């Protein structure tokens, strides 16, 4: 089975002090630590598990500058066989639609039975690329997949995660795009040694012209949604901050618990 | 200006809350722009739902077909592509839910209309749509604009709009389903309920809830002991379940449980909207987080900025003394 997995390198921002960059439309990335998007980590693991079970190859694809090789090497270290990096100044500023367009052009000439993406990215969080890519390739899709039960006879039986703990079981024809939800598996740990082992593997690099794309098909020109302004939401609105020493804070919490929680 | 469409979301015989939230927002947009609000209901044997929606829109378009009995993005897409091309609405609102996330991106691509996903507000300005959304786990707000188009599509984040009572006395229009063949590429088989767990976090008076900040499964006993000292139940956010550190029955949030305890103590939880949606109805919310800009502090009543590994042990000891 030929599996393609689309991945992204994203900044870790959960505990970072962020600033808006000089364009006013994005955050300043300088100084942030980057990693493989969490959802994509599960998607790569799922691709490798499927390869182990059904045979075939896993190809990891990502978009962006040379630093993106880090996450492609990580995917190779986890068990992907090939890696492709899509890079071009003309790709910058792409929205979810334009990103899917570039990916579709890269994937069209390849052989594939299954394409996996993460449900969404930690940064932009569009949750849009997988199903859009499927439509561009003219194949079916399922979003929020949290279990791939079985693949047989050119069809897959998959679970989609719905709200409130409910799941939906689907039967879908291959090739298909599945967007993978976190928790579907337990992604393997890749050691520095594991990454070193794949350091010499070739990462194929393709640009706008290699994909036969016109400049107006990617970047802001190829996008249907434009970001105009980024700002920080008002923080801590409504929350009364408890300050002091650990002991003082604890006493305040206990007073609140007595008053509001009926704890005596 | 042409109609605003709201795609009705329903499951297992019930209209979901997001539908009423979108209709409320749609009504406000229509009042401003002077156009008409249409609720689009796809299903099978859902006449009663259409009646229920009459108060909420100027018009209900009802399309019934056995293949629309349960949600199937491919069937929905075929039907809606036809309908949108015939009726040419100016804006189509869809929920940013398991339903909308499976449908809106491919539908908008098929009918070639711009899409903005996971929006917390939407505005109509002349021939284009503007929207507000959040990025980076709720730490950044962005204002976006869709390229001018005859029709645009926006998916709205659940619980972004409060719903009031109103009555528009909408009229019902039945449209014949365009589906003629069986859709073989994607078939709905069944629903599966999450297995019942050992605890029912929805019944607790006090929940001590732990998130990604706990860093390691070996640290779970630390918060379990805090919960025990209060006679509270231990719950958690999604990443803790994803990593298999706690079982799914303890998960608070959109894909887990909705809880309303008297007191909710969030420890090392950043406050992604999926989590907040499951706990914001709690009586008193106390949040502990290292990041002073964590979105959890927007929903908490009391906030503590600091290292949970220092605060939790002190708090536990003090509580044991106080309530001994």
Kindly report, residue by residue over B83-104, the tens digit of the pLDDT: 999 999 999 999 999 999 999 9
Yes or no: say if B89 and B199 are a contact pair by the CB < 8 Å rule.
Answer: no
| DSSP alpha helix (H) spans, chain B | 17-33, 47-53, 73-87, 98-110, 220-230, 238-242, 273-276, 296-299, 308-322
For B185, the token pair is: 């590429």
Average pLDDT estimate for B172-191: 96
Which band of pLDDT confidence, cut at 50, 70 and 90, is reported for residue A261? confident
Domain ranges for chain B, please list them: 4-174, 201-322
The predicted pLDDT at position A15 comes to 87
SS (H, E, C) chain A: CEEEEEECEEECCCCCCCCECCCCCCECCCCCCEEECHHHHHHHHHHHHHHHHHCCEEEEEEECCHHHHHHHHHHHHHCCCEEEEECCHHHCCCCHHHHHHHHHHHHCCCCCCEEEEECCCCCCCCCCHHHHHHHHHCCCEEEEEEEEEEEECCEEEEEEECHHHCEEEEEEECCEEEEECCCCCCCCCCCHHHHHHCCCCCEEEECCCCCCCCHHHCCCCCCCEEEEEEECCCCCCCCEECCCCHHHHHHHHHHHHHHHCCCC
Average pLDDT, chain B: 95
A 93-152 residues with CB < 8 A to B: 96-97, 100, 119, 122-132, 134-136, 140-144
- In a 3-state reduction of DSSP, which class is residue B284? strand
The predicted pLDDT at position B198 comes to 79
CATH superfamily placement of domain B201-322: TPP-binding domain (3.40.50.1220)
Instruction: Give the residue with greater pLDDT, A261 vs B32.
Output: B32
Q: Which of B212, B293, B311 sits opposite A249 (nearest CB)?
A: B311
**Is the pLDDT score of B13 beyond 80?**
yes
For A71, the token pair is: 């996450």
Kindly report, residue by residue over A50-92, the tens digit of the pLDDT: 999 999 999 999 999 999 999 999 999 999 999 999 999 999 9
**Is the pLDDT score of B32 beyond 70?**
yes
Kindly report, residue by residue over A137-190, the tens digit of the pLDDT: 999 999 999 999 999 999 999 999 999 999 999 999 999 999 999 999 999 999
Which residues of chain A have a CB within 8 Å of the CB of B291?
14-15
Distances (CA, A) of A99 to A4, A8, A59, A61, A91: 16, 11, 18, 12, 8
> Is there a contact between A165 and B256 if contact means CB atoms under 8 Å apart?
yes
> Is there a contact between A13 and B136 if contact means CB atoms under 8 Å apart?
yes
Average pLDDT, chain A: 96
Which band of pLDDT confidence, cut at 50, 70 and 90, is reported for residue A234? confident
Provide CB contacts within 8 A for A75, sequence distance 6+. A5, A7, A36, A44, A58, A60, A83
For chains A and B, CB pairs below 8 A equal 290
Kindly report, residue by residue over B50-70, the tens digit of the pLDDT: 999 999 999 999 999 999 999
Q: B73-87 and B98-110 are packed helices; what angle lies between their axes, rounded to 10 degrees?
A: 50
Using CA atoms, how far apart are residues B301 and B287, in angstroms rounded to an integer? 8
CA dihedral A40, A203, A139, B96 (to 10 degrees): 30
Using CA atoms, how far apart are residues B297 and B112, in angstroms rounded to an integer? 40
Which residues of chain B have a CB within 8 Å of the CB of A126?
117-118
Q: Does A229 touch chain B (CB under 8 A)?
A: yes
Which band of pLDDT confidence, cut at 50, 70 and 90, is reported for residue B323? confident
Provide CB contacts within 8 A for B205, sequence distance 6+. A261, A262, B232, B261, B262, B263
B 39-68 residues with CB < 8 A to A: none
Kindly report, residue by residue over A16-40, the tens digit of the pLDDT: 999 999 999 999 999 999 999 999 9
For A14, the token pair is: 């959960």
Does the bond joining B221 to the residue before it have cis omega, within 30 degrees of 0? no
Q: What's the maximum distance between 2 C-alpha atoms anywhere in chain A?
A: 71
pTM of the model: 0.95
Kindly report, residue by residue over B226-252, the tens digit of the pLDDT: 999 999 999 999 999 999 999 999 999
Kindly report, residue by residue over B97-133, the tens digit of the pLDDT: 999 999 999 999 999 999 999 999 999 988 789 999 9
Percent of chain B scored above 90 by pLDDT?
95
For B12, the token pair is: 């297992």
The predicted pLDDT at position A238 comes to 75
**Closest-CA residue to B10 (of B47, B58, B36):** B47
The predicted pLDDT at position B127 comes to 79
**Closest-CA residue to A122 (of B278, B134, B268, B215):** B134
**Is the pLDDT score of B292 beyond 70?**
yes
**Closest-CA residue to B15 (of B116, B119, B92, B97):** B97
> Is there a contact between B114 and A14 if contact means CB atoms under 8 Å apart?
no
Q: Would you call A62 exposed, middle or buried from its count of C-beta atoms within 10 A (0-12, 13-18, 19+)?
A: buried
Which band of pLDDT confidence, cut at 50, 70 and 90, is reported for residue A264? low
Q: What's the maximum distance between 2 C-alpha atoms anywhere in chain B?
A: 71
Sheet holding A240-241, edge to edge: A240-241, B302-305, B284-289, B263-267, B206-210, B233-236
The predicted pLDDT at position A236 comes to 63
Q: Which of A186, A241, A249 sits opposite B244 (nearest CB)?
A: A186
For A117, the token pair is: 């993406």
Using CA atoms, how far apart are residues B39 and B24, in angstroms rounded to an integer? 11
**Signed CA dihedral, A34, A35, A39, A43: sign only:** positive
Which residues of chain B have a CB within 8 Å of the CB of A255?
none
For B149, the token pair is: 């188009």
Q: For chain B, how big is the Rg over CA atoms in Å? A: 22
Domain ranges for chain A, please list them: 2-217
Which band of pLDDT confidence, cut at 50, 70 and 90, is reported for residue A260? confident
The predicted pLDDT at position A169 comes to 98
Q: Would you call A245 exposed, middle or buried from its count of C-beta atoms within 10 A (0-12, 13-18, 19+)?
A: exposed
Yes or no: say if A31 and A141 are a contact pair by the CB < 8 Å rule.
Answer: no
Q: Does B139 touch chain A (CB under 8 A)?
A: yes
Kindly report, residue by residue over B142-175, the tens digit of the pLDDT: 999 999 999 999 999 999 999 999 999 999 999 9
B4-174: CATH topology = Rossmann fold (3.40.50)
The predicted pLDDT at position A231 comes to 97
Q: What value of ipTM does the predicted structure carry?
A: 0.95
Q: Does A238 touch chain B (CB under 8 A)?
A: yes
Using CA atoms, how far apart are residues B280 and B271, in angstroms rounded to an integer? 10
Using CA atoms, how far apart are residues B2 and B83, in angstroms rounded to an integer? 14
Using CA atoms, how far apart are residues B322 and A55, in angstroms rounded to an integer? 61
Q: What is the CATH number of domain A2-217?
A: 3.40.50.620
Beta strand B37-43 with B4-7 is: parallel
């Amino acid at each position: 089975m030929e599996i393609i997995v689309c991945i992204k390198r994203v900044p870790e921002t959960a505990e970072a002090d962020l600033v808006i960059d000089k364009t006013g439309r994005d955050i300043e990335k300088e100084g942030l630590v980057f990693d493989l998007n969490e959802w994509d980590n599960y998607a790569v693991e799922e691709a490798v598990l499927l390869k182990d079970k059904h045979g075939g190859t896993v190809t990891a694809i990502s978009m962006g500058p040379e630093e993106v090789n880090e996450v492609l090497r990580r995917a190779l270290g986890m068990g992907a066989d090939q890696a492709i990096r899509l890079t071009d100044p003309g790709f910058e500023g792409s929205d979810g639609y334009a990103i899917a367009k570039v990916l579709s052009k890269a994937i069209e000439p390849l052989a594939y039975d299954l394409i996996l993406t993460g449900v969404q990215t930690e940064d932009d969080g569009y949750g849009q690329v997988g199903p859009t890519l499927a439509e561009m390739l003219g194949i079916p899709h399922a979003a929020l997949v949290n279990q791939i039960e079985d693949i047989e006879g050119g069809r897959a039986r998959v679970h989609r995660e719905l709200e409130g703990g409910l799941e939906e079981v689907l039967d879908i024809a291959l090739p298909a795009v599945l967007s993978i939800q976190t928790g579907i598996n337990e992604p393997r740990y890749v050691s520095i040694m594991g990454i070193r082992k794949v350091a010499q593997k070739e990462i194929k690099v393709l640009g706008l012209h290699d994909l036969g794309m016109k400049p107006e098909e990617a970047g802001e020109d190829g996008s249907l949604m434009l970001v105009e302004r980024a700002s920080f939401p008002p923080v801590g609105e409504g929350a009364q901050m408890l300050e002091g020493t650990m002991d003082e804070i604890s006493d305040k919490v206990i007073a609140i618990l007595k008053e509001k929680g009926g704890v005596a | 200006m042409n109609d605003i469409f709201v795609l009705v979301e329903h499951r297992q015989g019930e209209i979901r809350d997001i539908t009423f939230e979108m209709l409320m927002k749609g009504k406000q947009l229509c009042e401003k722009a002077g156009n008409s609000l249409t609720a689009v209901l796809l299903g099978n044997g859902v006449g009663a739902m259409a009646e229920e929606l009459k108060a909420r829109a100027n018009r209900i378009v009802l399309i019934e077909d056995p293949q629309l009995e349960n949600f199937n993005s491919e069937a929905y897409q075929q039907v809606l592509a036809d309908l949108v091309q015939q009726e040419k609405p100016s804006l189509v609102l869809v929920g940013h839910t398991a339903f909308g996330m499976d449908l809106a991106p491919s539908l908008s691509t098929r009918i070639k209309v711009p899409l903005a996903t996971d929006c917390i507000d939407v505005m109509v300005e002349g021939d284009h749509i503007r929207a507000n959304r959040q990025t980076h786990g709720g730490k950044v707000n962005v204002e976006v604009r869709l390229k001018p188009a005859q029709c645009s599509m926006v998916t709205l984040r659940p619980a972004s709009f409060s719903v009031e009572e109103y009555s528009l006395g909408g009229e019902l229009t039945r449209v014949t389903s365009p589906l003629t063949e069986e859709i073989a590429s994607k078939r709905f088989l069944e629903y599966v309920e999450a297995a019942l767990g050992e605890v029912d976090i929805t019944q607790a008076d006090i929940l001590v809830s732990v998130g990604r900040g706990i860093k390691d499964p070996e640290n779970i006993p630390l918060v379990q002991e805090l919960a025990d000292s209060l006679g509270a139940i231990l719950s958690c956010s999604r990443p803790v379940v994803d990593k298999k550190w706690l079982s799914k029955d303890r998960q608070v949030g959109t894909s887990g449980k909705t809880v309303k305890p008297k007191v909710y103590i969030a420890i090392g939880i950043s406050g992604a909207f999926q989590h907040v949606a499951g706990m914001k109805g709690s009586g008193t919310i106390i949040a502990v987080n290292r990041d002073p800009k964590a979105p959890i502090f927007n929903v908490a009543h009391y906030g503590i900025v600091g290292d949970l590994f220092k605060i939790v042990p002190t708090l536990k000891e003090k509580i044991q003394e106080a309530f001994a």
